[in-house]
Amino acid sequence: MRTTIAIAAALVFAAAPLSTSFAKNGANSGASQYSPGQQYRANGPVSGTHGASGYSPGQQYRSGGAVSGTHGASGYAPGHLK
């Protein structure tokens, strides 16, 4: 019984560094590349706003209206941009 628990614990601790490396490598791919902070870093601030807030879904909704087929600012959410 103790051997089984020790092996399970060893597997969990061995897998933890792998999951964190995937998280770090995935930071610049997928929806996160469209996050307000990443857009701010790439393009600078939107005029009239401070920091990355100009790239927030709410600000984009206010300036451009709703994306067709979506409700409110959800069309501007990082996972929904095309």
The pLDDT tens digits of the residues spanning 48-57 come to 888 898 888 8
pLDDT over 60 (residue 21)? no
User: Would the pTM of this model clear 0.75, i.e. be above it?
Assistant: no
Nearest residue to 38 (alpha-carbon basis) of 48, 26, 47 = 26
Site of tokens 């409700």? 71
| Residue 54 counted as domain residue | yes
37 band by pLDDT with thresholds 50, 70 and 90: confident
| Residue 81 counted as domain residue | no
What stretches of the chain show up as alpha helix (H) in DSSP? 2-25, 36-43, 57-64
Structural domain for 28, as ranges: 2-76
Number of CB atoms found within 10 A of residue 75's CB: 19
Count how many domains the chain has: 1
Both tokens of residue 53?
A: 């807030």
pLDDT at 48: 87
Length of the chain: 82
